[in-house]
Structure 1
Amino acid sequence: MLTEEESPKDAEVIGVAGRSGQGGQQIYEFEYKVDRTRGGSAAFVAPRKLYLLNTAHSDKLESPIDAETIAMLEEVLHSFNAVPLT
């Protein structure tokens, strides 16, 4: 359980998207900010299992997250996919 000091003070959903993955499964992506952390999640269900990928990067006041790092995190998020079973 989080204490009041540990609880997030600010949260924002940046974007939500869906795309078709390999084998036609639907992949859902979420980008968000929680306090000074920017992150993303991708999720899909394949053969009765839930697969999740989470990314996060701390965005400090003295060194804010740069566009190159944001692009890299988005590339990782968008590359999340299932490998077709043979």
Structure 2
Amino acid sequence: MKVGLIMGSDSDFPVMKKALDIFKEFGVEYEVLLASAHRTPAAVREFVSTAEDRGISAFVVGAGMAAHLPGVVASYTTLPVIGVPL
């Protein structure tokens, strides 16, 4: 299994790092993207829409103070999206 972890800004990293630690502990492969649903929507769309081709089968997504990013990710895929409230 490979997971795509997306966070909206570098200030989200302290919380999202906990997910990365769990992935490492259980040997789950991952890719990380730092991108905003508002500032860099094309980067989000590209990462998500090509994810299956790269073997990603689920997303863990968090952005501080808003639920926009997980919703935008979900709009580009039928893969599971887990939104992390920050």
What is the TM-score with the length of structure 1 in the denominator?
Answer: 0.27
Q: Which has the higher contact order (CA 8 A, sep 6+)?
A: 2
| Greater Cα radius of gyration, structure 1 or 2 | 1
Larger proportion of strand: 1
Greater helix content: 2
